[in-house]
Every structure is written in structure tokens, then in C-alpha cells.
Amino acid sequence: MTGTGLGGKNASAGIRAVRRNKTTWAGRQRVVARYMRAAMNKMGNEGLLTSAHNLGHVQRVSLYAREYVKLMGGGREERAQAGIAGLAHDRLRDAADSMQQKAEKKVTHEQKGAEYMDPLVKKRYGKKHAIAIIEAMAKHGELPALNEVSKNLARDAVVFADKFFEANGAYIGFRRSMFMAERADLRKKAVEKGWDLTKPVDIQKAAVEFTLEESAKRIKAFSDLSKIPTHLHPFVKYQVQWQFKLVQGLTAGDKGIVNLATTLYSEGLKKNPRDLGEMIRLYKPIDKSDAAFKQEAMDYLNGKLAERFRKLVKRPRR
């Protein structure tokens, strides 16, 4: 499969330094980290990055994927597989609705990215490790069946880090609202509804409606405890409560929550929106409700959620 930017044959050239580090997994991960930084810088310069899927996103997914494998008792190689897959999982991510693409049986960014990186990963890490890494990339858009959990720790780790950390908690209130404005399909939908996205009143309508719709869809897809391993239930419950607060606040017209969604949505409409992390740091709450969201989101960005993760996730008994 061919692609634009870094990857495929170009990826091999961009990551040759791995040869100097091939004896250590830590070195291999550093090389992939440098590669992804260069790749995402290039994508950013080409206007292909979104607030929800940038360098910070893949770095955090990689971090928490490694942490998950460690908590599950995985070894050095499995932690490295998860870390590498986490860094590379959104290599070809765009602003499309991946869940809708899947429903329509279209090729998703998960599949594209995995196919794009497959030759490089096989060449550099060997077939055994490539199988685990590429599967983790290709399947990070859906939860593993319960009887599949633990068969590939890297796959489990990447999707759990992606869905239960990045796409959950208070952080998602900011991320989702901003991403809704970046999606071309939703901008088109706003026009069809007769909304003028240069007018504050219509911007607020779009921010509230689209964030609510997406939240309902995501909660249904990734918060059903009957489809989630029991050892993750306490953590998922903790995280998803923030999504319920977001939905409840928007539905009730809570001034703080509506202001949060509208502010981030407005930023996402810009041709060159600011970094999501910067937006969260700069956000000025107007009520206790959005102040609570900001504090929790900042704790997440500053790494303070890691300790809560360790306390809430317990290695299952065999």
C-alpha cells in the first residue's frame, strides 16, 4: 500500500537509526518516537492533523499501553510491542468518522495505518514482533472479545489506552468538542441544518448537538461493562462518569459545560486551531462544573491519572 508523507519506503529511510539501537528495546522505541515526531510534524505542516489525534495523543497512548502491559505482568518485549504500536497507531489518522466508515464497510485509518507500517515493522523487528504490533495497530478501533483478551497484550493495551484514557474522562469533554468542529462531515451537516458557523448562537447549537450525538455513540460502543474485562471495570466506571456529566450538563444547559463545549468547538472551526493541550490550559472556567472538568483534564495531561490507573486496575487471577 502506498501513502503520502513519511511511511512505506520513506519510513525505512526515516528510521534507519534503529540499526544502531537494534540490541535494545528501549532504543527501538526511541527511534519510533523520533520517526513519529517527524511524521506528525510533516502531517501538521500539510494540515492533516487534528486536535484529537496529534503527537501528544500517540505519546500518551504509548505510555499507558506500556503501563497496562506492566500491570498485567507482561515482559520487556511485550511492553515494547505495546509502546511501539501505541506510538504508531494513528500514523494515517484523519478527521473522518472511523466508526461510520466501519459501519459502511469502508477502509478505516486503523487498517490503512497498519498496512502502511507493516513492511517497516517486519523488516526492523522480525515477523514474531510484527504480528503483535501490526495487530494492535489494525484493531485499536474496537474492543477485543472477552475470550480474546490477553492473547495479544499489545493489542489489548493499545485499544484500552486509546478508548479508556484518551477518549474518556474529563479530557474528552475538551477533545470531543474541538474535534466535532474539525470534521468535514459535521460542518456539512451544520450547513444542511441552516446553521451559520460564523454566528455565536449557531456555533453553540452545533457544539452542543454534535458533542451530545458523538458522546451517546461512544458511550454505547465503549462503556458496556459486559464487553469489558472485569479487572478494568473500576477504572472504566471512574472515567465514563465524566462522559455522563458532559452529557447531563449539555442536555440541561449547564452554563459551564455549554461554555466549555462552545469554546473548544469555536477553536476547532479555525483554519489553524491551537493545540488541544494549550487550549485546556488556557481555558477559563465560568462555573464550578467546567472548573471541575478543567482540573481533572489538567491532572490527566500532567500524568497524575497514572497513579489512579495503577490503583484501580488489578491484574486478574489466573
Q: How confident is the model at residue 291 (pLDDT cuts 50, 70, 90)?
A: very high
Three cell numbers at 9?
Answer: 519506503
Range of the domain at 183: 171-312
Q: Which residues contact 34 (CB under 8 A, 6 or more apart)?
A: 15, 17
User: Does residue 188 share a domain with residue 100?
Assistant: no
User: Does residue 204 share a domain with residue 82?
Assistant: no
16 lies in a domain? yes
141 lies in a domain? yes
User: Does residue 145 share a domain with residue 50?
Assistant: yes
CATH number of the domain residue 41 falls in = 1.10.3210
> Cα(171)–Cα(293) distance, rounded to whole angstroms?
7
> Cα(298)–Cα(131) distance, rounded to whole angstroms?
36
User: Does residue 146 share a domain with residue 16?
Assistant: yes
What are 189-248's pLDDT values in tens digits?
Answer: 999 999 999 999 999 999 999 999 999 999 999 999 999 999 999 999 999 999 999 999
DSSP string, 64-78: HHHHHHHHTT--HHH
User: Does residue 148 share a domain with residue 239?
Assistant: no
What are 132-154's pLDDT values in tens digits?
Answer: 999 999 999 999 999 999 999 99
User: Does residue 32 share a domain with residue 101?
Assistant: yes
CB-facing half-sphere around the CA of 213: CA atoms within 13 A? 13
User: Does residue 94 share a domain with residue 34?
Assistant: yes
User: Does residue 297 share a domain with residue 179?
Assistant: yes
What are 80-129's pLDDT values in tens digits?
Answer: 999 999 999 999 987 777 877 777 888 889 999 999 999 989 988 888 89
Final residue in a domain of this structure, among 127, 153, 179 = 153
Question: Per-residue pLDDT for 6 more than 60?
Answer: no
pLDDT over 70 percentage in the chain: 92
> Cα(66)–Cα(87) distance, rounded to whole angstroms?
11
Q: What is the DSSP letter of 169?
A: T
What are 156-167's pLDDT values in tens digits?
Answer: 999 999 999 888
Residue whose C-alpha is closest to residue 251's, from 273, 219, 227: 219
User: Does residue 202 share a domain with residue 308?
Assistant: yes
User: Does residue 119 share a domain with residue 15?
Assistant: yes
User: Does residue 305 share a domain with residue 192?
Assistant: yes
User: Does residue 176 share a domain with residue 129?
Assistant: no
Domain count across the chain:
2
Final residue in a domain of this structure, among 111, 126, 153 = 153
Three-class secondary structure of residue 292 per DSSP: helix
Q: How many other β-carbons are positioned within 10 Å of the β-carbon of residue 35?
A: 23
Over the Cα atoms of the chain, what is R_g? Answer: 19
Q: What is the DSSP letter of 146?
A: G
